[in-house]
Amino acid sequence: MSETAQVNAFIDIDPADREPSLDEFRQIVRDFISENLPADWKGVGALEGEERIAFVNGWRDLTTHARLLTSYWPYEYGGRGLSKLYHLSVAQEFAKNKLPLGRPSDTIAIKLLGNTVNAWGTHEQKLEYLPRILSGVDVWAQGYSEPGSGSDLASLRTKAVLRDGQWHIDGQKIWTSNAMNCNKAFMLVRTDPTAPNSKAITMLLIDMHQPGVEVRPILNGAGSAELCEVFLTDAVTDEANVLGEIGNGWAVTNSLLTSERGEEAATNPVLFAQEFERVIALAREVGADRNPGTRARIARSYKELAVMKAMGDRILSGYVRDGSLGPQASISKLYWSEYHKRIAELGVDLLGIDALTWEGEGPMRWFRTDEPGARNSSTSWLAVFLANAMSGTIYAGTSEVQRNIISERALGMPREPKAPAK
Ligand SMILES: Cc1cc2nc3c(=O)[nH]c(=O)nc-3n(C[C@H](O)[C@H](O)[C@H](O)COP(=O)(O)OP(=O)(O)OC[C@H]3O[C@@H](n4cnc5c(N)ncnc54)[C@H](O)[C@@H]3O)c2cc1C
């Protein structure tokens, strides 16, 4: 299929049917699932190797074609023009049925970049980028963190200077997920060396495949090179490739947190409950289900899952009421990520001596749980523990940073003193 045909392959929906009620829409999603779900479906994790990738890509195509991957994007860009609330029912129904909502790289391409383009982009940028994201032609990297500028992102030093209609970019990014497979990147860069951070940083969209961009993979604890360093030496991008306005990159990047956390609150409890079932099955498989220590850890996790679900419901109701999340979002992020480290460690402990070797299939994605339906192999639990769970307490705001936010904004404790300028 040609690139143009690929990017335009969406179903037509009669204008009269474009505003379903929430209940009607949930039924549309359920019908889509039952019409397309393979017989005897056990989840992506139950498939092997290439089969997994083929299923995820094929299912993504179907979902995109049905305008369900981003139902909240405008109709002309491949969505259904519905509110984010409708999207939550897609996310929930897919998670319940152990189905992927997009492929792993969509977390950055859709949730971060696509939604930002949708909110801040010009009409031309939307037309150029959104359909190409949906078709999968463009794979995006997120260039925010730098050595010395992670939690304190506002101190970033990569700079861009405008000359003869082009931005010239110099600096270094680090921990850039999947950068070796990306053809595009959105980057925060300093465009005004004298202005305060709120006016000095700009979001640029750049091509990764150019002489000024060098990507070096970093090996992680699970033996995979998912994260990268990106070196920029007079990398260039057209003057027009600013997302938002020059100097308001900080506002652009902060604006999307709310909708992201809303989706998380809807899907995390489902994903973690499915993973919890795997732990119980593993305890039985290895004959540890009568061990008092194991039972106590399982009981604690069970209780924590119930709290996570209640917290998710509370966040969702605030989101439905007035679109607000507040410090709840930080409490939830801290809670699920710390929970996940404990339960993943239990998985590894249950494997015992078998956890010394890597056997079987690992997760496709490096965040949250292994794919629903995955076998209890040592590779699955080791990778989830060493990569997915450990990193959950670091990306999107570390646990310490979340604790600061909670203590200052929810509990009204004094603000921490500002770090001296570097
Ligand atoms: C799996 C994974 C994927 C990632 N993908 C990307 C990506 O695609 N693009 C991207 O740009 N970045 C990415 N990151 C980077 C991530 O955003 C940063 O790692 C994160 O912001 C923390 O920054 P840092 O690593 O520089 O640690 P630092 O900020 O240097 O923190 C080091 C330690 O100090 C603590 N600390 C820092 N400040 C405070 C404070 N004020 N009070 C108390 N304690 C503090 C932290 O909690 C941490 O324990 C990814 C990270 C991971 C783990």
Smallest CA-to-CA distance from 90 within 112, 62, 113, 114 is with: 62
Threshold 0.85, pTM exceeds: yes
Instruction: For residues 138 and 131, give the distance between their C-alpha atoms in angstroms, rounded to a whole number.
Output: 9
pLDDT at residue 205, rounded to an integer: 98
Distance 173 CA to ligand 1 centre (A): 13
| Catalytic annotation, residues | 260
Q: Is the CB of 386 under 6 A from ligand 1?
A: no
Instruction: For residues 399 and 406, give the distance between their C-alpha atoms in angstroms, rounded to a whole number.
Output: 10
Q: DSSP letter at 420?
A: P
Instruction: For residues 74 and 115, give the distance between their C-alpha atoms in angstroms, rounded to a whole number.
Output: 11
Q: Is the CB of 392 under 6 A from ligand 1?
A: no
Q: Is the CB of 150 under 6 A from ligand 1?
A: yes
Distance 228 CA to ligand 1 centre (A): 14
Distance 177 CA to ligand 1 centre (A): 13
Residues contacting 132, CB < 8 A, separation 6+:
7, 138
Distance 406 CA to ligand 1 centre (A): 17
* pLDDT tens for the 422 residues of the chain, in order: 444 445 558 999 999 999 999 999 999 999 999 999 999 999 999 998 899 999 999 999 999 999 999 999 999 999 999 988 899 899 999 999 999 999 999 999 998 999 999 999 999 999 999 999 999 999 999 999 999 999 999 999 999 999 999 999 999 999 999 999 999 999 999 999 999 988 999 999 999 999 999 999 998 777 778 899 999 999 999 999 999 999 999 999 887 665 566 678 878 888 999 999 999 999 999 999 999 999 999 999 999 999 999 998 888 887 777 767 777 888 999 999 999 999 999 999 999 999 999 999 999 988 899 999 999 999 999 999 999 999 999 998 999 999 999 999 889 999 877 766 55
pLDDT at residue 256, rounded to an integer: 66
pLDDT at residue 260, rounded to an integer: 62
Instruction: For residues 182 and 108, give the distance between their C-alpha atoms in angstroms, rounded to a whole number.
Output: 11
Please, are residues 92 and 33 in contact by the beta-carbon 8 Å criterion?
A: no
- How far, in whole angstroms, is CA 113 from its chain's centroid? 11
Please, are residues 101 and 91 in contact by the beta-carbon 8 Å criterion?
A: yes
Instruction: Point out which residues pair with 172 in neighbouring strands.
Output: 231
Q: What residues does each domain of the chain span? A: 10-103, 140-248, 256-410
Smallest CA-to-CA distance from 384 within 364, 406, 369 is with: 369
Please, are residues 133 and 109 in contact by the beta-carbon 8 Å criterion?
A: yes
Nearest CA to ligand 1 atom 43: 400
The amino acid sitting at 50 is E
Smallest CA-to-CA distance from 299 within 283, 317, 313, 321 is with: 283
Nearest CA to ligand 1 atom 30: 150
Residues contacting 406, CB < 8 A, separation 6+:
327, 330, 331, 334
Smallest CA-to-CA distance from 297 within 280, 275, 281 is with: 280
Distance 268 CA to ligand 1 centre (A): 21
Nearest CA to ligand 1 atom 39: 401
Nearest CA to ligand 1 atom 12: 145
Q: Is the CB of 176 under 6 A from ligand 1?
A: yes
Q: Which of 116, 145, 390 to mutate to test the pocket of ligand 1 (most atoms within 8 A of CB)?
A: 145
**Angle formed by the axes of helices 257-285 and 84-96, to 10°?**
10
Helices then strands, counting H and E runs in the chain, come out as: 15, 8
- How far, in whole angstroms, is CA 270 from its chain's centroid? 16
* Ligand 1 atom having least distance to the Cα of 108: 8
CATH topology of domain 10-103: Butyryl-Coa Dehydrogenase, subunit A; domain 1 (1.10.540)
- Class of 140-248 in CATH: mainly beta
Q: Is the CB of 180 under 6 A from ligand 1?
A: no
Tokens describing residue 6: 């690929």
Which listed CATH number (3.20.20.70, 3.40.50.620, 1.20.140.10, 1.10.3720.10) goes with 256-410?
1.20.140.10
Q: Tell me which residue has tokens 């463009």.
A: 138
Distance 116 CA to ligand 1 centre (A): 21
- Give the HSE-up count for residue 410: Cα atoms under 13 Å, Cβ half-sphere: 14
Phi and psi (nearest 5°) for 303?
-65, -45
Instruction: For residues 162 and 390, give the distance between their C-alpha atoms in angstroms, rounded to a whole number.
Output: 40
Say yes or no: do domains 140-248 and 256-410 share a fold: no
Please, are residues 61 and 70 in contact by the beta-carbon 8 Å criterion?
A: no
